[in-house]
Amino acid sequence: MKNGLTPKETETIIRILEKYPDIHEVWLFGSRITENYHSGSDVDLAVMNSNVSGKVIRQVRSDFEDSNLPYFVDIINFSELKHPELKEQIFRTGQLFYSEAHLPVVNERKPGYLEDDAK
């Protein structure tokens, strides 16, 4: 997947995510997916499993800020998003970036994300 991240930067992000056993699946979205990024573009990540607390998200953000990554990494909990348009964009264009199973899957969709929100 072309996203402007070097293998070392990708590894740094994954190592941070691996520290948190509650995080099972993370999707990359935004300009890094549309290939509309530039050298200073941030990295937009969405945690797709709903059992991740706000405290964990804040800790992950802090770890990214303390890392040597040259980009701002914005990580959000998909299930807590209040904007249906953003949820739809992530679901439609986002790509699997990290899975606790470490499967090299790109752009796999799991049924039920949007259906669960409609209930």
List, for residues 17-73, the tens digit of each pLDDT value: 999 999 999 999 998 888 788 877 899 999 998 889 999 999 999 999 999 999 999
Token reading at 33: 């997916």
pTM of the model: 0.81
Domain contains 1 = no
| Chain segment 77-95, per-residue pLDDT in tens | 999 999 999 999 999 999 9
CA 91 to chain centre: 11
Specify the number of domains making up the chain: 1
Domain contains 47 = yes
Domain contains 112 = no
Read off the CATH number of the domain in which 22 is found: 3.30.460.10
Domain contains 14 = yes
